[in-house]
Amino acid sequence: MKTKIVQRISSVVLMVIIVGCTDLSPELVSETTGDELLNDARARILNDITEAEGIIQPAYDGLYQFLGERNIYALTEGSTDEMVTPTRGTDWGDNGIWLALHQHKWTPDHFIVQNGWDDLRTGSARAYEAIDLLEKIAGDDQALLFELEPFIAEARFLRAYYSWHFIDLFGQTPVLDENLEEDLLQRGQAVEFVINELEEIVPILPDASSSTYGKVNRQTAQALLAKVYLNKHIYEDREVENSDLDKVIGFCDEVITSGNFQLASDYFAMFDQHNESSTETLLVLQNSGDFQRGFQAQTRALMTLHYYMNAGGVLEPWNGMCSTEDFFNKWDADKNLTNGVATSDSRFTDDRYFPTLALNLGFITGQQYKVNGDPLTDRKGNPLIITAEIESITQAKEYEGARVLKWAPDTDAAYQSWADNDIALLRYADVVLMKAEAMWRKGNSGGAMSILNNLRSVRGAANLTEVSAQTILDERGFELYWEGYRRTDLVRFGQFTQGTWFGKEVSAETYNLYSIPSVALSAFRKLKQNPGY
Amino acid sequence: MENRLRFFNPQVIISMLLMVLSLYAYAQEKMVISGTVLDDTGEPIPGVSIIAKGTNLGTTTDFEGLYRLEIPAATQTLVFSFVGFVTQEINIGSQTRIDVKMQMDIAELAEVVVIGYGSIEKKDVTGAMTTVTPKDFNKGVMTNPTELLQGRVSGVNITPSSGEPGAAVSVNIRGANSIRSSNQPLYVIDGVPLSGGNTTEGGSGTGDTGGSQAKNPLNFLNPDDIASIDILKDASATAIYGSRGANGVVIITTKRGKSGQGNVSYSTYVSASQVRKKMDVLSAIDWRKARIGLYQETGNDGYLDFDFGATTDWQDEIFRTAITQNHSLSFSGGSEKGNYRASIGYLNQDGIVETSNLNRYTARLNLSQKLLNDKLSMSMNLTATNTKDRTPPIGDGGGHLGDALVNAIRANPTMPVKTDDGEYFQFATSDRNPVAMINLMDDRSTTDRYLGNVTGDLEIVKGLHLNFNYGLDRSTSTRNANYSNRLVYITPDGQAEVRDLYTHSDLMEVYLKYNTSVGAHSFDVLGGYAYQYFERRGKGITALGYTNNLLLYTNSLGARVSDVPVGLYSWGDISELQSYFGRVNYSYDNKYLATFTLRADGSSKFGPNNRYGIFPSAAVSWRLSEEDFLKSNTTVSNLKFRLGFGKTGNQEIPNYAYFPQYQAVSYDLNGETLLSIRTARTSNPNLQWETSVQYNAGLDFGFFNDRVEGTMDYFYKTTSNLLYNTPTGGVAFTTNFWQNLDTEIINNGIELAVTGHLMTTKNFDWSTTVIFTKIDNKVKGFEYAAIQTGRLNGPGMTNVYIQVIEDGAGLHAFNLRQFEGYDSEGYSIYANEGQLSLTGSPYPDFTLGLSNSITYRGFDLDFFLDSKVGQDVYNNTANSLINKPALAQAKNISYDELYAQRSIEDGEVPSTKYLEDASFLRVSNVTLGYNFPVTGIDWISSAKIYVTGQNLYVMTNYTGYDPEVNTNKAVGDIPSFGIDYSSYPRPRTILVGMNLNF
């Protein structure tokens, strides 16, 4: 009897357990499977092919990583003579990252080196992902795939752009293989990969005249090809060859003769809040002061201005980055520059915003003012007189260092850190300068000089009377300062490690490449640390 | 012969004489004595024997503890006795009602402890565990159960994140075992394991004040409802909870009614709290003098500026004397067939920073009933809580602009709080007025939580029981934060945030228990199935552009003027856990005990390849004191040796971490919306349980009839297969992916708890307990780049990390420059050209606790001293705020910095200068109580008043507000430990309370 009861109850228990059993696959709440999303995207694209723009937008979004002051931008400018971030009392110590960067003493653990690496691999991954998504969406549909080719080509350009930065900054270039598994290209292989990619997509990409503002076009790819060829000998660790230079001149000419671009008549208008109509934009990251898209664009103003240079209380600047005195003095060896005098070069300074914001554009030194015209004082109550000279890189005064305000602050933005200024990453003037440099390198100084003087006259600067490596490098500085080109240029002219400027001695050749971050080395074992680190 | 002898036995004769006498007395004059007998917790004791001394007249108490006895009027003394209690003799005098409170006889006490899915006698325990009952709880303002235990249990390190009412608490049982955030134990309340997640949203840190941690999710339990807390420490004890037991298990059992007389109990207290210590920053007068000094030194008359003429002590402006009141009312009762207890509680706790407050209502109902000829017993536990928090803008970090506390420390003391026209004085967006911050920001959370379960126990045949347990846990919470338009740094215009969080879990358990004895062998066998379901959902709104001065924008979210889109989010996730478990307790002859458990857990968090984890354990113990060679020993009263081994698991990672996840994403480009798809997670189908293997050796001892008793344990715990969201290095669709690392975290340590019952006389009782813990911690086989954590905040400290997890070091080792003093010009000097090196640990070398309990007649005195030795705390507050260069920028500094031979241009570099020895000795808890004699008042059974002081005195060299501090400085999901930044100070509290039982 008892046994029966036990049996019965046990079977009830067993039933409860079996019925209660779950396969442990609960419902997905805010997540979805890839297939659902792909099917949805395919339907939208079949209905309207421009929906593919959305799919590749994440790859464009990677370009925003070129904006922040602690990201790739710092790797391209902060280690050069154009930009220094001295420690100012309690400010900008940041555990020594700025000094290490400027003095070429970074280590594999350096925060910005790590950041830059991560930003590039994220951008590259977004490009790979966009290509993969479009290919999956097309599937076996060859007609659709053909229609999607231009969009895929945009993503391939962006992948090449991120990869070129790997080549330029780090040498080793991480990629994905055909199975989308992590792989690595050595510097030379990566150059080949990037050139092949770019040359393949040039015919697929639309001419700039028929492409939308902000999108990659044929000339964008040609400009990048010129850039890669101009630096190819550095990447391959050899002397420059005429074949490279011919390629540079050829691609530059393609851009120049396309007729889509011309040197801007108003230099600072190219960096203004509403600069969509710039005639020099080849590759751009678009910002908006009304939407989150513009997030951080004001950084370019905030990072340099003194705390109290706040455009009438709109900004909360950080008093950080400034020019070295060496670079500042290149504009005029007499050192008698104050705001807006002693040089006719329109690139040096501009006072269009002074009446409203009490801020000059370009290089800023001297007494600073409030919007109401009263002189400003610093945090200690001294008159705020910005000096180009910085006495000590480790103990700088808050007023030391010439400020560089290239991108006018957007005082209409919804947040003070947002701004409408679009930021050009490849600019037509660079193409012109690359052509001049290639000609000079081939021995055609006259041709180079006429290009340079044409540029200088547009900018209101006096004509050059001779062309040398130094004048070409300097001209690139005058034209492109703080736009993220400087390190590459200094390396190409052999001055990055060998040159000295405020706060920086001659450094070892090792520093021509950044170190591979420790975290990446330990996570991706194919990587090897660059020699010397 | 024998009979004669018996007859002439003096005792018999005396008894007979007494009988005669008493008959005589009875015939002459009788009297009736009645009363109640209670135990020391105020509960009635049935069956107590009461005898008129010198007679055979006597009776026993009924189920309600009541007795009535007729005795000769000449009787002078009554004798009360009961097994397990100290026998008492009471002088009758002229009393007719005598209520007695029986004291437990410690030597005879058979303590029952709660283990998972059952309870056993303490003597039969084979694992390492500690039981804490209300008499050993910390007294005073206690917002949640973890505070009751702080410092009281060896091997358990409880560190509050701050002194804010209801603040999050870090509880580490036997060290930190994981590199991720989840080192917290599993909490089981009346048989329902909690999900462990937060039930309120943390602060978002709008306005650069730094986000703040969510409040302690255990705030929903009223400490007055807790009957006992059992802490399972070693793996042999926790393995029955398998997958979730790796960080220890805390079992909380709530009070139930007892059969016998009904009881109504009311307790209340009122307390006043103040900040224990202020930062020693300059007064307005001295600040002015110091600035004039700078002018005289440098000739720079700019130093004469920024004197706004007022005299403000900003710390006084934001701190207050905070009043807390608490009321708990319960009634309970029962019969042999069932019992009930219902309680309600109210707590209104003001924080010592203006506006901060916690307001809580709790209700609980516990019921039990026996049915079917006592074959079936059913129980129900239900609690419902409403908690309202108001949080001041004091966050975990924030940038150089800082939160209210940062600004209270560094604000220029010559600034006025308000201008003459009554508006807050706000000089610049970067020089904030902390009083304005506190009053012009309104951040409140409301949380409702319900936890309930129904259990049943059916005896099928003798010894075989079928049990079931169905539980549910729901919470809903809303956080409304408003940032006023009137705060100059809130731009553009006012902002509002609403954040909702909903959590839900269900539990279903069915298990069979069988116990039997065969000769000297006894078995207790358990086997069962459990299923748990966890769901969390959240949603929120961020809106800006409020131009009105009414602060509560969240009451009318639509009333805004802005083009900026409203920020919206929502999310949700669900996970499941399914388990099969079994346990065998075996004992032979009461001397040799063994426990074997096995639990198989399946979790939806892991992929099909490794979804199930198997967690076995085994423990044996030997009661040496039951052996013949010790049984008659008068010195050794108890001696038990325990050995245990077990494997437990940890699955506290995001749901579906094994699963490839795609997200629909949208981009706004110049007002146009673009849709795309992103890989949100790289799949790892091989993801599996993080496992801990723990060995434990322990000794329980008692000497001199347990006058000295204690426990000593040594453990060695290895956690492997560490779950880590590993960074990818090359191009990969996600920046991280979850994997199990072939790395070990090793914790080993010693725990000791000794109690001495120094005096146990009738009127004077004194016992003292010492606890000691020493734990070492090490990371082994970590082949990746050091993981950086411990992010500092403040000017010049952006992206500065000072703690690392790296191979061969202890968890959270500090990685800093070595400060060597100042050079002749007043600039800091660092060793090795400022190279970083590992130095110091945030974990103590050892911890000590000393508690004393003294009873003298109606008085009782408890005091508790708490000490941790050898831990370092990084004083981020001093590093970034209280430093000399700040004076030049018209900010306040400390007197120490003012007098330091330091340049006002010296940089503020993180270094060992700010790594401080945070060893301390705290007079943590002192309570003096008085029990009123209530004999003769028949409507009251006990009345006690008491005074408690909390955190009365701290002996330490640490210069911050409090050495026990843990500001959340996590980087990603890697926690930090032992960093102090603008942490809400822990108050000193004086409390007056009263407990009444009717």
Q: What is the per-residue pLDDT across B699-758, written as a single tens digit (0 to 9) for each?
A: 999 998 889 999 999 999 999 999 888 888 899 998 888 888 889 999 999 999 999 998
Residues of B within 8 A of A89 (CB-CB) are 885, 888-889, 904-908
Residues of A within 8 A of B905 (CB-CB) are 89, 395, 397
Q: Mutation target for A interface from B432, B537, B663, B731: give the one with most A CBs within 10 A.
A: B731
CB contact under 8 A, B510 and A37: no
**pLDDT at residue B54 tops 70:** yes
CB contact under 8 A, B785 and A184: no
CB contact under 8 A, B730 and A93: no
Q: How many CB atoms lie within 10 A of CB A319?
A: 23
CB contact under 8 A, B735 and A118: yes
CB contact under 8 A, A33 and B461: no
DSSP single-letter state for residue A169: I
pLDDT digit string, tens, across residues B98-116:
888 887 765 444 678 888 8
C-alpha distance from residue A489 to each of A326, A469, A512, B543, B926 (Å) = 16, 11, 11, 45, 72
The mean pLDDT value for B27-31 works out to 66
pLDDT digit string, tens, across residues B272-304:
999 999 999 999 999 999 999 988 988 877 788
Tokens representing B945 are 């008043």
Residue linked to tokens 């801020």: A359
The mean pLDDT value for B792-819 works out to 86
With contact defined as beta carbons under 8 Å apart, do B843 and B183 qualify? no
**Per residue, what are the HEC states of B392-457?**
CCCCCCCCCCCCHHHHHHHCCCCCCCECCCCCECCCECCECCHHHHHHCEEEEEEEEEEEEEEEEE
CB contact under 8 A, B785 and A31: no
- What is the pairing mode between strands B872-875 and B979-980? parallel
pTM of structure: 0.82
pLDDT digit string, tens, across residues A138-168:
999 999 999 999 999 999 999 999 999 999 9
Distance of CA B894 to the CA centre of its chain: 34
Write the single-letter amino acid at A486.
Answer: R
Q: Please name the helix (run of DSSP H) or strand (run of DSSP E) that holds residue A59, with its range, or none.
A: helix A52-61
Nearest partner of A62 among A132, A213, A165, judged by Cα: A165
**pLDDT at residue B1 tops 50:** no
> What residue of A is the nearest CA neighbor of B302?
A381
**pLDDT at residue B5 tops 50:** no
pLDDT digit string, tens, across residues B860-885:
999 999 999 999 999 998 888 878 88
Q: Please name the helix (run of DSSP H) or strand (run of DSSP E) that holds residue B649, with its range, or none.
A: strand B636-650
The mean pLDDT value for B65-71 works out to 86
Q: How many CB atoms lie within 10 A of CB B111?
A: 14
DSSP single-letter state for residue B942: E
CB contact under 8 A, B300 and A90: no
Sign of the CA dihedral B656, B662, B667, B672? negative
Tokens representing A288 are 């908006």
Q: What is the pLDDT of residue B110?
A: 60
With contact defined as beta carbons under 8 Å apart, do B696 and B715 qualify? yes
User: What mean pLDDT is reported for chain B?
Assistant: 87
Q: Mutation target for A interface from B298, B677, B787, B788: give the one with most A CBs within 10 A.
A: B677
CB contact under 8 A, A183 and B510: no
CB contact under 8 A, A129 and B679: yes
> Is residue B607 classed exposed, middle or buried when 0-12, 13-18 and 19+ CB atoms within 10 A define those classes?
middle
With contact defined as beta carbons under 8 Å apart, do B676 and B663 qualify? no
Alpha helices, DSSP H, located in B777-925: 876-880, 884-888, 895-899
Residue B426: pLDDT band (50, 70, 90) is confident
Cα separation, B105 vs B114, whole angstroms: 21
Q: What is the pLDDT of residue A141?
A: 93
Cα separation, A514 vs A71, whole angstroms: 13
Q: Which of A20, A56, A395 sits opposite B508 (nearest CB)?
A: A20
**pLDDT at residue B516 tops 70:** yes
Q: What is the pLDDT of residue B327?
A: 96
- Kindly state the percentage of chain A with pLDDT values over 70: 93
Q: What is the pLDDT of residue A73?
A: 96
Tokens representing B696 are 């434990």
The mean pLDDT value for A363-379 works out to 92
Cα separation, B467 vs B509, whole angstroms: 8
Q: Mutation target for B interface from A11, A37, A70, A95: give the one with most B CBs within 10 A.
A: A95
**pLDDT at residue B55 tops 50:** yes
Q: What is the pLDDT of residue A60?
A: 94
3-state class (DSSP) for residue B584: strand
CB contact under 8 A, A174 and B906: no
CB contact under 8 A, B664 and A37: yes
Helical axes A242-257 vs A428-441, angle rounded to 10°? 150
Residues of A within 8 A of B577 (CB-CB) are 24
- CB burial of A444-481 (b: ≥16 within 10 Å; e: otherwise) equals beebbbbbbbebbebbebeebeebeeebbbebbbbbbb
With contact defined as beta carbons under 8 Å apart, do B546 and B476 qualify? no
Residues of B within 8 A of A414 (CB-CB) are 492, 562-564
The mean pLDDT value for B931-939 works out to 82
For chain B, how far is it from start to end, CA to CA, in angstroms?
57
Q: What is the pLDDT of residue B20?
A: 47
**pLDDT at residue B7 tops 60:** no
pLDDT digit string, tens, across residues A468-483:
999 999 999 999 999 9
Q: Which of B886, B888, B907 sits opposite A87 (nearest CB)?
A: B907
Residues of A within 8 A of B664 (CB-CB) are 32, 37, 40
Tokens representing B353 are 């920073």
- Distance from B843 to chain A by nearest Cα, in Å? 24
With contact defined as beta carbons under 8 Å apart, do B773 and B807 qualify? no
> What residue of A is the nearest CA neighbor of B658?
A25
- Distance from A287 to chain B by nearest Cα, in Å? 8
> What residue of A is the nearest CA neighbor of B882?
A90
- Distance from B201 to chain A by nearest Cα, in Å? 18
- Distance from A446 to chain B by nearest Cα, in Å? 44
User: What mean pLDDT is reported for chain A?
Assistant: 91
Residue B796: pLDDT band (50, 70, 90) is confident
- Distance from A1 to chain B by nearest Cα, in Å? 11
